[in-house]
């Protein structure tokens, strides 16, 4: 990636601009889109958006690899994650009893997320050591995203079922 930039200043400028665009777009999406998206797609559809966006971005990165495709992929994922997925996940906690919230939320927000980061770093390091191509790594991540999408759909469906009033 360093070879993509002529100078350190150009690299800093690129990432500063990217982070400013991602941050601004995240704020705008959360303020103006979140409530509408949740109303239209429900929990299951909203939870499904991030893995689907990731699969589309990975497919684009397979077809057209490069810094720009990776930047768009990561930026789009961050926007969707922070503007739509995190508030939706917080809504899932709201349906739980307080005792369960105090156990589940910290466990998921710290242990599971950090474990996922550790596995991701280990995965990347291992695939580099095993000599796997970038295309293979992306295809594997598409498969993982499919599993993530199925899990998101199931969790959202469970949440929506539990939110429905019981039949009289």
- Let me know if residue 149 belongs to a domain: yes
- Let me know if residue 168 belongs to a domain: no
What is the model's pLDDT at position 161? Answer: 79
Exposure letters 101-119 (e unless 16+ CB within 10 A, then b):
eeeeeeeeeeeeeeeeeee
Distance CA 9, CA 161 (A): 52
Sequential pLDDT tens for the chain (168 residues)? 557 788 889 888 998 999 999 999 999 999 999 999 999 998 888 999 999 998 988 888 888 888 888 888 889 999 999 999 989 888 888 777 888 778 877 887 788 778 888 888 888 888 889 888 888 888 888 898 999 899 888 888 888 777 666 555
Q: What is the pLDDT of residues 10-49, one digit of tens each?
A: 888 998 999 999 999 999 999 999 999 999 998 888 999 9
- Let me know if residue 80 belongs to a domain: yes
CA dihedral 144, 83, 21, 17 (to 10 degrees): -60
Structural domain count of the chain? 1
Nearest alpha carbon to residue 18 among 63, 60, 57, 74 = 74
- Let me know if residue 59 belongs to a domain: yes
Domain span at residue 85 reads: 2-163
- Let me know if residue 19 belongs to a domain: yes
- Let me know if residue 91 belongs to a domain: yes
Q: How much is the pTM?
A: 0.79
What is the model's pLDDT at position 79? Answer: 94
| Residue 154, H or E segment | helix 134-163
- Which residue in the block uniquely carries the two structure tokens 């939870």? 47
Contact 153, 47 (CB under 8 A): yes
């Amino acid at each position: 990636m360093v070879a993509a930039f002529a100078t350190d200043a150009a690299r800093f400028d690129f990432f500063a601009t990217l982070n400013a665009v991602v941050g601004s777009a995240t704020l705008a999406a959360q303020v103006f889109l979140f409530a509408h998206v949740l109303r239209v797609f429900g929990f299951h559809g909203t939870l499904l958006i991030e893995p689907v966006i990731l699969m589309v971005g990975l497919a684009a990165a397979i077809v057209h690899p490069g810094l720009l495709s990776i930047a768009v992929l990561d930026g789009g994922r961050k926007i969707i994650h922070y503007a739509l997925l995190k508030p939706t996940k917080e809504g899932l906690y709201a349906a739980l009893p307080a005792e369960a919230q105090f156990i589940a939320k910290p466990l998921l927000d710290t242990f599971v997320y950090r474990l996922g980061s550790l596995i991701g770093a280990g995965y990347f390091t291992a695939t580099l050591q095993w000599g796997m191509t970038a295309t293979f790594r992306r295809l594997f991540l598409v498969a993982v995203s499919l599993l993530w999408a199925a899990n998101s759909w199931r969790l959202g469906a469970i949440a929506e079922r539990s939110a429905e009033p019981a039949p009289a």
